[in-house]
Amino acid sequence: MNPTIVYDDYWRFAAERQAMYLRRLEGKRGPWTDDPILRTYRFTNAYRASDRVSQFLIRRVQYAADRSRSPQELFFRTLLFKLFNKVETWEHLESQLGPLSWQSFDFDAADHVLNDAIARGSRIYSAAYIMPSPALGAERKHTNHLRLLKMMMEDGLPAKVEKAGSLSGIFDLLIPYPGLGKFLAFQYCIDLNYAPFLSLEESEFVVAGPGALDGIAKCFDDADDYAPEDIIHAMVDRQEAEFKRLGLDFPGLFGRRLQPIDCQNLFCEISKYARVAHPNVTGISGRVRIKQTYKLSSRALQQPFYPTRWNLTVPAYTPTAASSTQPGLFDAVAA
């Protein structure tokens, strides 16, 4: 592979974005970086599982102490959350319907709640990535998504996912469903695998999304000569050597290496970063500016919580509330 000028910035970005995360966890007040691009625009964390939405999913949706952890319930709760991918939508449904459970869920009532929210001007979907509407006969996208989830549950998909044996196996189960496509199906594989009913290796499977493809094209002149997934796996394999070569301190996620999903996301982020840092490196998307600038979050950063099987030793932090004018971790969204 023939790297471009953007390639080294990929590793610098990863190291500095993770350093920002750790500085904020340690309770330091912003600015958490001297990089003017990172201080101005919104970027996800180096590790997908550290982002606000993933943290909410893991802590509140999947590992909540007062909720059933059966495969059926965990699958249902995970997909109900991820179909909208928005914390506020989940919280609104809970406030109106009570605890969200497959055993008691009323799809018509949920549809009514979401219709009312839209009528009041609320956005019920995250802007993180495009959520196509599955063609299931309803006029409203959210109604079709509720029908999609009901279809999955009635198909017995949770039990099939539990027995799949690999992320690629789960991907094969999800991809036939309407409105998903390869990128969303892969993202849902990762989200389901955070839950305690699965314990599959993240390292064995990855799918490059549109943002990652643009980032790969910006990092390598000869990207077209290789499968994008092979490039992502190569980045995973060489990470320690590249951080060392560039003299970068990268402790990982409390000792956890970057996984393929993280390197895939980092390609999405370097695609955006390069629009400002290297505007002459065009990539394949043709985009020339970063749309989302940093907006202060009113939510305080909580103690990180990760899937227990990762066996991470996370120091006890007492972080400050989001009170700086610099990028907040809870403002990052998955690319």
Q: Where are the alpha helices (DSSP H) in the chain?
A: 5-25, 36-40, 52-56, 71-84, 87-97, 107-119, 141-154, 157-162, 167-174, 181-194, 210-219, 228-245, 260-277
Residues 276, 237 share a domain:
yes
pLDDT of residue 194: 98
Burial state string for 17-39 with b = 16 or more CB within 10 A and e = fewer than 16? bbbbbbbbbeeeebbbbebebbb
Residues 313, 271 share a domain:
yes
**Tens digit of each residue's pLDDT (9 = 90 or more) over 260-299:** 999 999 999 999 999 999 999 988 988 877 777 766 555 6
Crossing angle (nearest 10°) for helices 5-25 and 210-219: 120
Give me the number of domains the chain comprises.
2
- Sign of the Cα torsion 45, 48, 53, 57 reads negative
Closest by CA position to 136, among listed 111, 170, 109, 106: 111
Kindly tell me the number of DSSP H helices and DSSP E strands found in the chain.
13, 0
Residues 236, 117 share a domain:
no
Mean pLDDT throughout 79-106?
A: 96
Asked if residue 170 is part of any domain, the answer here is yes
Q: Of 169, 195, 221, which marks where a domain is finished?
A: 195
pLDDT of residue 129: 76
Residues 187, 144 share a domain:
yes
Asked if residue 57 is part of any domain, the answer here is no
pLDDT of residue 296: 57
Of 142-156, 193-207, 286-300, least confident by mean pLDDT is 286-300
Task: Give the mean pLDDT of the chain.
Answer: 91
Contact status, residue 87 vs residue 53, Cβ threshold 8 Å: yes
Tokens of 105: 């869920």
Residues 126, 224 share a domain:
no
Closest by CA position to 269, among listed 191, 204, 200, 327: 327
pLDDT of residue 30: 77
Residues 78, 31 share a domain:
no
Is residue 329 over pLDDT 90? no
For 86, the domain range is 65-195
pLDDT of residue 294: 66
Residues 215, 161 share a domain:
no
pLDDT of residue 288: 76
Q: In the chain, pLDDT over 70 holds for what percent of residues? A: 92
Residues 191, 70 share a domain:
yes
Mean pLDDT throughout 129-158?
A: 95
Is residue 257 over pLDDT 70? yes
Q: How confident is the model at residue 319 (pLDDT cuts 50, 70, 90)?
A: low
Residue 130 CA to residue 80 CA, distance in Å, equals 16
Contact status, residue 48 vs residue 261, Cβ threshold 8 Å: yes
Contacts of 165 (CB under 8 A, 6+ apart): 200
Q: In the chain, pLDDT over 90 holds for what percent of residues? A: 81
Contact status, residue 166 vs residue 204, Cβ threshold 8 Å: yes
Asked if residue 200 is part of any domain, the answer here is no
